């Protein structure tokens, strides 16, 4: 077994355990911290697949910015057990049934998918490298890239205008 396979299985086990911990944990802070660990494991998978740009962006955007936002929101909320309404047993049963149905759909979708003979190009290819992505972005897709930057700029100006109207 090579080091890449060992790292893949370690990251897979870490992602599955931390994702289950997100769902099972009763404390929302522990749940968010487990979600951060899941994002780190997923970023490790991206890097193993030679998609360094997506892995780093996943770390910066999701594990960095969004999870900090989640932590701040959870810290600002009043999470007393006294204020939380108790859920009906039928509502809990409906959640279990709908989750089981979703799992059945996933199993059926994976059963019909064909992955035999499809291997990710990780050693020889430069598909996910940042240099290749930059060349494709600024050579073939420069017009859509510039249009999206103008769209983001207009959204930012609109947010500032809407924010200033309240003053």
Question: Residue 9's domain is classified under what CATH number?
Answer: 1.20.120.1200
Query: Among all chains, which residue has been given the structure tokens 């360094």?
Result: 52
User: Global pTM?
Assistant: 0.61
Provide mean pLDDT across the span 68-73.
Answer: 77
The pLDDT tens digits of the residues spanning 12-45 come to 999 999 999 999 998 888 888 898 899 999 999 9
Token code pair at residue 67: 């999870």
* Domain presence at residue 85: no
Range of the domain at 135: 129-167
**Does residue 88 sit in helix, strand or coil?**
coil
Report yes or no: 129 and 53 within 8 Å, Cβ to Cβ: yes
* Res 83: pLDDT: 61
* Domain presence at residue 11: yes
* Domain presence at residue 13: yes
65 and 6 co-located in one domain: yes
* Domain presence at residue 108: no
* Domain presence at residue 16: yes
Q: How many other β-carbons are positioned within 10 Å of the β-carbon of residue 68?
A: 12
Q: Among residues 79, 112, 141, which one ends one of the domains?
A: 79
The pLDDT tens digits of the residues spanning 89-123 come to 888 899 899 999 999 998 988 887 776 666 655 55
Report yes or no: 27 and 75 within 8 Å, Cβ to Cβ: no
Domain count, the chain: 2
């Amino acid at each position: 077994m090579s080091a890449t396979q060992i790292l893949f299985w370690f990251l897979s086990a870490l992602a599955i355990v931390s994702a289950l911990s997100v769902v099972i944990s009763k404390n929302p802070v522990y749940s968010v911290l487990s979600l951060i660990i899941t994002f780190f494991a997923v970023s490790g998978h991206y890097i193993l697949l030679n998609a360094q740009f997506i892995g780093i962006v996943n770390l910066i955007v999701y594990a960095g910015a969004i999870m900090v936002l989640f932590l701040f929101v959870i810290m600002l909320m009043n999470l007393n057990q006294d204020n939380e309404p108790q859920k009906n047993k039928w509502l809990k049963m409906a959640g279990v049934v709908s989750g089981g149905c979703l799992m059945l759909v996933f199993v059926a979708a994976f059963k019909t998918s064909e992955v035999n003979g499809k291997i990710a190009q990780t050693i020889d290819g430069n598909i996910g490298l940042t240099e290749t992505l930059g060349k494709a972005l600024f050579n073939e897709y420069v017009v859509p890239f510039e249009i999206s930057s103008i769209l983001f700029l207009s959204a930012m100006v609109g947010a500032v205008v809407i924010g200033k109207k309240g003053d």
